[in-house]
Structure 1
Amino acid sequence: MSDRFPSDTGLLGARLVPLRRPGQWVSAAVVVVLVAMAVHTLFTNPRFQWPIVWRYFTTAPIMNGLVLTLWLTAAVMICGYLLGVVLAVMRLSRNSVLRLVSFGYVWLIRSVPPLVQLLFWYELASLYPELSLGIPFGPAFVTVKTAHLFTGVLAAFVGLTLDVAAFSSEIIRGGILSVEHGQVEAAQALGLGPLRIFRRVVLPQAMPAIVPASGNMLISMLKATSIVSVIAVQDLLYSVQLIYNQNFLIIPLLLVATIWYVLLTTVLSIGQYYVERFYARGSRRGGSRGLWAVTRSNIPLFRNLAGIS
């Protein structure tokens, strides 16, 4: 074969020259310099007062506020998602009244900011001084003073739970609707009952769509609990505020809260990653395979190249 048309052996032995991308190198260098400057100022600026940060990092008031933040996040997410499941089922129901009630609830709650909801529930006694239980439009059997019932913690729990229920219902409904209706029809043709179809057919296919949004909501809720400090609930942020209102060390105490939030959201993000990977098994793309799996799948190609050469 002439030099103008090299042989296959020459082509296989040719050295690959990567495409030059100077813009990527320039942008990477700029980012590295900016990150280095940020890290440098964190450790060299004495106004951050890192010794004070570590002194208050694990004190009793901070840990008590942290426990309340974690408890409030867990309670709100569990109860909110239970209510969200009910709302999603109502929205998918054939009953037009249930669909309308569910749609109206989601529309109203999503239209009102969470902080406004917290303030409303905290001031509920101004609107309803008493709450009673009895026959509708008839005599009451039990009456409770609202001012004694709705403390700051309960108002925060109710307000955040109702907010989570509205958003989680849409997440669950979207996940269920992402499953092809033919899957349900095929299961019905096999004689499976509605509950078993939902548990064995619909839910496993809906979870890959539900889990990422739910994980993001959990992380967002952990951070959103900081707004309960407005109604004097002693969570992590309010505990920090109580301390720096006494010693005026505002920046170091805010850094204490920031570091705790970063640590907690990092742990939740790692957990979300593994949960997503669990529910995505069987549907992973080739790019997510490990190094050994990729190498093993390309062994036949290596053998063919060796035989040609």
Structure 2
Amino acid sequence: MPASIAGTVVARNVVVPRRHPGRWLAVLLLAVIAVQAAHAVAMNPNFHWDVYVKYLFWPQVIRGVGWTLLITVVAMTVAIVVAGLLVIMRDSDNPILRGLAYAWVWFFRGTPIYTQLLFWGLFAVLFPRLSLSIPCGPEIAGIEARYLVTPAMAAILGLGFNDSAYLTEIFRSGFGSIDRGQTEAAQAIGMRPGRIWWRILMPQAMRVIIPPTGNETIGMLKMTSLVLAVPFTLDLTFATNAIANRLYLPIPLLMVSGTWYLAITSILMVGQHYLERHFGKGVSVHPARAE
């Protein structure tokens, strides 16, 4: 075949990428809408941007951010520990332990978090004194409930116990996704239970557990805005509301709290991404896409 004809055949077989004019039109339309919306918000004097900038790093607001982070971390730790115990109880051969774990999950998933926080705030009214005593006998030791269950402690317990019910189901689904044959094979070669747990079960379960647990952590962060029900008055939402009530300008202070929640949530999402990538080593998490 002459070279000119061969070149013509090859040229005819060149794959031309498919054009997508609809995509570019959609991008252009969305860009126009976004620019108009940004301009409308930026130029609107009712947002009081000067007040927003002034109070974004106000000491009272920064202190509220610190307390919000502290409550989130401690409450999430409580939730994870309690959920781990509940998972063990649910898998126990003891029907009483299984029943107690099921009742815990049923109760805390079935009642609103705000109602639970209200009850924690009234704990010292319901039980004024906590004591250890011999049944039908004298008291050995005791303490006033208001000294033990402080507003901060009530907020942590309320949020932590509530979220533990949801984390229990997440953990169960994570460990339930692992084929039982892997445990049996590890036992057959003489691996100890602790080593099986850490070397075989945990890495695989974490791939399933981390994404929903990350969502629960972000949800916990935002649920701290409800601790006023306890009442706890040092969190970010209360701090910005107090300033807004003093200035009679709720909108800029709402934007201040929203900005901080967005910033913290963004950091948590980045951390979740790296955790997922760490435990997903050797596993393809992105399915092949058909062109």
Instruction: Using structure 2 for the length normalisation, give the TM-score.
Output: 0.90
Cα distance in 2, alignment partners of residues 286 and 162 from structure 1: 35
Query: Could you list the per-position Cα deviations for residues 125-147 of structure 1 after superposition, in whole angstroms to 9, with x for gaps in the alignment?
Result: 33222221233454321222224
> Does residue 190 of structure 2 align to residue 184 of structure 1?
no
Matches of 1:35 and 1:7, distance apart in 2: 51
Instruction: Judge which range, 11-20 or 171-180, deviates more.
Output: 11-20
Correspondence 1:112 to 2:111: yes
- The unaligned stretches of length 5 or more in structure 2 are none
Residue by residue over 1:143-170, the C-alpha shift from the partner in whole angstroms, topping out at 9 and shown as x without a partner, is 2222443332121111011012111111
**Matches of 1:254 and 1:191 in 2, distance apart?**
59
Report SS of the residue matched to 2:233: coil
Q: CA 1:204–1:50 in structure 2 vs 1: closer, same or farther (change >3 Å)? A: same
Other-structure match for 2:90: 91
Q: Answer yes or no: is the 8 Å Cα contact 2:78–2:157 preserved in 1.
A: no
SS of the residue corresponding to residue 133 of structure 1 reads: strand
Give, in whole Å, the separation in 2 of the partners of 1:59 and 1:193.
54
108-117 vs 166-175, which moves further: 166-175
1:186-239 superposed Cα distances (whole Å, 9 cap, x missing partner): 001101121111111111111100111111111111111111133242100101
Which stretch shifts more, 142-151 or 57-66?
142-151
Whether contact under 8 Å (1:92, 1:173) holds in the other structure is no
Equivalent residue number for residue 306 of structure 1: none
Residue 265 of structure 2: aligned partner: 265
- Pairwise mapping of residues 288-307 of structure 1 onto structure 2 (< 5 A)? none
The farther-off stretch of 193-202 and 176-185 is 193-202
Q: Which residue of 2 aligns with 1:280?
A: 280
In the alignment, residue 184 of structure 2 is paired with which amino acid? E
Distance 2:279 2:107 in 1: 32
* Residue equivalent to 2:223: 224
Cα separation, partners in 2 of 1:137 and 1:74, compared to 1, 3 Å:
farther
- Structure 2 distance, partners of 1:141, 1:51, is 60
Q: 1:97 to 1:52 in 2, by over 3 A?
A: same
Deviations 1:23-81 (A, max 9, x none): 43443333222222221122111211212111111111111111100100010111210
Cα distance in 1 for partners of 2:6, 2:283 equals 41
**Residue 169 and residue 285 in structure 1: after superposition, are their counterparts in 2 closer, same or farther (change >3 A)?**
closer
Q: Name which of structure 1's ranges 198-207 and 135-144 shifts more when overlaid on structure 2.
A: 135-144
Moved over 6 A (4+): 6-9
Do the aligned partners of 2:72 and 2:220 also contact (CA within 8 Å) in 1?
A: yes
Structure 1 residue 12, shift from structure 2 partner: 6.8
Secondary structure at the aligned position of 1:273 is classed as helix
Query: Match of 1:260, as an amino acid?
Result: W
* Separation of aligned partners in 2, 1:162 and 1:138: 32
Per the alignment, in what secondary structure is the counterpart of residue 131 of structure 1?
strand
3-state DSSP of counterpart to 2:16: coil
Deviation at 1:284, TM superposition (A): 1.8
Report the aligned-residue RMSD.
2.2
**Could you say which residue in structure 1 is the equivalent of 2:252?**
252
SS in 1 for 2:201: helix
Distance change >3 Å, CA 32–CA 93, structure 1 → 2: same
Q: Closer, same or farther in 2 for the Cα pair 1:134/1:268, shift >3 Å?
A: same
Q: Would you say the 8 A contact 1:153–1:233 is kept in 2?
A: no
Q: Which runs of 5+ in 1 are unaligned?
A: 289-309
